Chain A
């Protein structure tokens, strides 16, 4: 499960505080697919010129796949074995690319009160961060932000959607 690109754009809007970007009511449509999947490369000797570059979310996702996001049970914030495997993949990546810094975004499903969910999202982000730190990633390379129930990725009101929204998503800081 990859993070939708619209989501990344929304974060950019928030963090850059760019007035012009903020003017747009809606983020642009999804970006065109990455070029590597299209035509067979005639010159496979130069992969770095076509793939995403280090320091981008696309590069991070290409390396760790769906492991950029870990999921939680209702009202829980513990790191289970699935989460641990995902965070180990993230830590491996961060160990390889030591210039990369990330933000861990904590989220909650809609079935909670607003303020509690903000605190719960913070607690989930903190769990993911602590696990990465325990794997040797420097704490100052990881910032946290909680969005509570404000930024769902799955929009229906059912158990499957809520399970997708109870998450801590790691996002590369550009």
Chain B
């Protein structure tokens, strides 16, 4: 409530010249994370495998006691010093690992606290009786230059052996990134999958009644922390997309009264039109290398997909059929684009080469295909399946092996975790119009809601942070 008040005051004090803007204060994206040491990874033991085994893993117990500190020191990251920060880091890791249906973690509040010396030499006897197959240890150390060193160790309790270790140097403000990197290290080592926790999500925060929704651009970490609103809400904001390097966001804004897509610079808080045109521009997307932008433009009621360089210049029209061709999501190699078109009479998904050639429909099952998103792994396309209700589904890039993953009344707009194993989407409730973010894994068995400060829609998950 207080922050809302502050924003309103800031708005009233804004100079007239800024009245076309709807932007909050610019926010930085934090500092770099430096790897402190690469693990002596030990021999190749422990669990590997694919998600097909996930149901068998749900009993994999992981004990995550508080991270120790060599010397309890004050740090801007925690009012109670590095010792308390170590406890917080363990809580973040526990929460990350619990929420994905693969592990059964036990957090620091239910476990004894190891000493600093025990971090690299666990007291095996005190862990073997706890039903935890895996043990996570770690430490926090405040460096003289104000930065924090966070070490992360994964042990196999039965083997009494270290599986992997790694450490990072972070600014105190980035302490959560160290917790996410440790979570990623554990997740990757035990599943064989790529990491995803150290990433961010852009989305639209919604407040107000159904016929007068206030929609603001917002960003947060993958677990909902470090949440920030980027626009003030006076202009409707929709459909954000993080640039691959997290420096910019594409989104749609009604700031001049019409739907237009803008590129918003996170460092400066400034934004500019992606295409200078008198026509509505919709559905912005980045190419995987961040050098190109796809957008859709309606001219005399006919919508087609265009590509423009992120540096500006002339747009290239990629589709030219009568009807609505919209959206577009690049394959990870940047060579192909999956998009949505109603040229056949209803919304269906099509694939074309990146230059617009060789357009062909890939969906022929019952119902419609909307908002296709190519997996970062390249092996799947997620989309909104419309068949009575709206649900999140996946298929292969040639339109086969349809699998419906959710069963809400209106589940819409899938976005992939950086490792292509989890899909986030938004769910709208019948009648009330209330909306929230949910995520589901590729098995469809593990679905959960991601808490946000307000209602939420249009999630866009970015890649692993640079």
Contact = CB atoms under 8 A, between A and B. Distances in A.
Question: Do A and B actually bind?
Answer: yes
Interface of A: 6-7, 10, 13-15, 17-20, 22-23, 25-27, 75, 77, 110-111, 113-116, 118-120, 122-127, 130, 145-146, 148, 150-153, 155-157
Nearest to A15: B257
Contacts of A148: 259
Contacts of B255: 17
Contact of A122 (B20, B212, B303, B370): B303
Given A13-B234, A114-B238, A146-B280, A19 B301 contact: no
A122 B326 CA distance: 13
Contacts of A22: 11, 22, 232, 234-235
A150 B16 CA distance: 28
Contacts of B34: none
A145 B324 contact: no
A127 B301 CA distance: 8
Given A17-B234, A122-B298, A148-B259, 8 more contacts: A113-B412, A116-B324, A116-B347, A118-B252, A119-B326, A123-B324, A146-B280, A155-B211
A118 B297 CA distance: 11
B296 A115 contact: yes
B212 to A, nearest CB: 6
B213 A119 contact: no
Contacts of A125: 301
Contacts of B210: 152, 155
A122 B301 contact: yes
Given A18-B19, A116-B326, A145-B259, A151 B370 contact: no
Given A17-B255, A19-B19, A115 B300 contact: no
Contacts of B12: 19-20, 23
Nearest to B409: A157
Interface majority SS (helix, strand, loop, mixed), chain B: mixed
B298 A123 contact: yes
Point out which of A15, A75, A126, A157 has the most chain B C-beta atoms below 10 A from its C-beta: A157
Nearest to A103: B257
15 contacts: A14-B257, A22-B11, A77-B301, A110-B410, A113-B371, A115-B239, A116-B326, A116-B370, A119-B296, A119-B298, A146-B298, A151-B211, A155-B431, A155-B433, A156-B431
A115 B283 contact: yes
B2 interface: no
Given A26-B208, A115-B326, A116-B370, A110 B433 contact: yes
Contacts of A126: 298, 300-301
B282 A119 contact: yes
Q: Give the interface size bracket for B toward A.
A: 35 or more
Contacts of B22: 22
B119 interface: no
B236 interface: yes
A110 B210 CA distance: 11
Nearest to A155: B210
Contacts of A13: 234
A160 to B, nearest CB: 13
Contacts of A127: 301
B256 interface: yes
Contacts of B413: 113-114
A150 B282 contact: no
A27 B209 CA distance: 11
B136 to A, nearest CB: 40
A18 B256 CA distance: 11
Contacts of B236: 14, 150
B254 interface: yes
Nearest to A128: B301
Contact of A146 (B19, B232, B259): B259
B300 A118 contact: no
A110 B386 CA distance: 13
A47 B11 CA distance: 43
Interface string B156-200: 000000000000000000000000000000000000000000000
Contacts of A115: 239, 282-283, 296, 326-327, 371
Q: Which of B19, B257, B301, B384 gathers the greatest number of chain A CB atoms within 10 Å?
A: B301
Nearest to B236: A150
Contacts of B214: 25
Contacts of A26: 208, 212
A17 B256 contact: yes
Given A18-B19, A114-B238, A145-B258, A6 B212 contact: yes
Interface in B420-439: 428, 430-431, 433
A114 B239 contact: yes
Contacts of A77: 301
A113 to B, nearest CB: 4
